[in-house]
Amino acid sequence: MAQPSTNQEIDPFYVMEVVAAAQEREQSGEAVFHLEVGQPSTGAPKGAIEVAHRLLDEQTLGYTTSRGIPEFAPALAKHIGQQYDLDVDPGRIAITQGASGAFVLALLAAFKPGARVAVTAPGYPCYRNMLTALHMEPVALNVDASTRFQPTVELLEAAGPLDGVIVASPSNPTGTVLSSSEMTKLVAWCDEHHVRFISDEIYHGLTYGESNSVTATSLSDNAIVINSFSKYFSMTGWRIGWTVLPDELTTRFDRLAQNLVICPTALSQHVAIAALECRDELDQHVERYTNNRQILLDGLPAAGMTDLAPADGAFYIWARTDHLAADSKLLAAEWLRTLGVAATPGIDFHPTEGHKYMRFSFCGSPETMRGAVDALTKWRLRQLAS
């Protein structure tokens, strides 16, 4: 019998192969320095965990409205006010299942099938894969060191007709940040050309040195802003995020949310509101990331990696490795097998150029960073000697 046609092929997320191989190595009793995943090694802040314990005893935690519990959007509006000195109508804020959940609903609310949406290469692979799964067309903007791996108006103009663009600042995998004037130019161009600007602000709160993150909400009422409790708030598995929507998309977004997900997880919503008040503990994580970043920036050159993207934000270093090995996927496998160092080959982030790069995540412990740098330096010395 003829089978119904399936959805289009979706690429795997190769980092999961590194994660599986690293786990296998650990199960056989060998140590692994984890620099492969962008997942803080810490959990939700303590004050938030206390709320979780209490609520499990006190509440039934049933469905909430698709927008979340009534106090959540005002709490986020206050947070946005404090972060960016900006007044946002809580009616524009929807609570979601992480940034990922926000993306699916926002893309469906904003675009029709066939929409052409620009994404950077290198960039976060799920943008491309989500667009494909939703029968939209990801349009690659090939970015490199000359624009600090961020898009420019020139690249947008050269991309052909567009319906939208997704920008991440700080970005994954390169960690680079758009300046306020660069972001302003991109948003203005999008408004002028009726191209929907989608700003992934999941790494806001994680910037180093002079870098500062601008929210697209401050630049245009047409922009969709997506954020999450996964990174700065250290709450990956709680699956909670939010979006600030243009007024004209809120009703469509709500209807999609009601039908596709009903509501975000109730317990996570309460815990996330409490996490908004735990800034002291969370800022200590940022201090650790700052220190870890320095350990890698100081140590990777001795391991042969000198071409590094400026790690302005997030918790990643994007390093060129094609002078060490032609294919970073094979190099990552070799490092894991021989050194116990787990890093992510660039293929996930850039389908055609990714084999020349490796991404190192520095959200683990300083001991992990030092151990990895030490092992990689010895490996490089052996490589040079052979």
Ligand X SMILES: Cc1ncc(COP(=O)(O)O)c(C=O)c1O
Interacting residue ranges for ligand X, rule: CB under 6 A: 38, 98-100, 124, 168, 172, 200, 202, 228, 230, 236, 241
**Least distance from C-beta 81 to ligand X, angstroms?**
22
Nearer to ligand X, 234 or 236 (CB): 236
For ligand X, the nearest residue by Cβ is 98
Complex with ligand X: residue 97 or 328, whichever CB lies closer:
97
- 157, amino acid identity: E
Q: Which residues pair with 205 in a beta bridge?
A: none
Q: Which of residues 72 and 379 has its CB atom nearest to ligand X in the complex?
A: 72
Shortest reach from residue 177's CB to ligand X, in Å: 13
Question: In this complex, which beta carbon is closest to ligand X, that of residue 44 or of residue 339?
Answer: 44
Amino acid identity at 355:
H
Q: How far is C-alpha 201 from the geometric centre of its chain's CA atoms? A: 8
Query: How far apart are CB 172 and ligand X at their closest, in Å?
Result: 4
Distance (Å) of CA 355 to CA 12, 76, 261, 310, 351: 15, 40, 37, 19, 8
Q: Shortest gap between Cβ of 102 and ligand X (angstroms)? A: 8
Complex with ligand X: residue 313 or 340, whichever CB lies closer: 313
Closest to ligand X by CB, 206 vs 375, is: 206
Q: Tell me how far apart the alpha carbons of residues 143 and 141 are, in angstroms, rounded to a whole number.
A: 6
Query: CB 313 → ligand X: shortest distance, Å?
Result: 11
Q: What is the smallest separation between the CB atom of 257 and ligand X, expressed in angstroms? A: 15
The span from the CA of 348 to the CA of 138, in Å, is 15
Residue 202 Cβ vs ligand X, minimum distance, rounded to whole Å: 5
DSSP-based three-state secondary structure for 295: helix
Is 117 or 375 the residue whose CB approaches ligand X more closely?
Answer: 117
105 CB-contact burial (10 Å; exposed 0-12 / middle 13-18 / buried 19+): buried
What is the amino acid identity at position 332? A
Nearer to ligand X, 37 or 73 (CB): 37
Q: 11-14: which pairs have CB atoms within 8 A and are 24 or more residues apart?
A: 11/125, 11/128, 11/129, 11/351, 13/125, 13/126, 13/129, 13/348, 14/329, 14/344, 14/345, 14/347, 14/348
Minimum gap (Å) between residue 228 Cβ and ligand X: 3
Q: Cβ–Cβ contacts within 10 Å for residue 20, how many? A: 10
Least distance between ligand X and beta carbon 241 (Å): 5
- Backbone phi and psi for residue 359, each to the nearest 5 degrees, phi listed first: -110, 125
Is residue 44 helix, strand or coil?
A: coil
Q: How far is CA 178 from CA 77, 101, 147, 151, in A?
A: 23, 24, 10, 9
Give me the torsion for CA of 233, 239, 242, 245, rounded to 10°: 150
Comparing CB distances to ligand X, the nearer of 19 and 302 is 19
φ and ψ at residue 98, rounded to 5 degrees: 70, 180
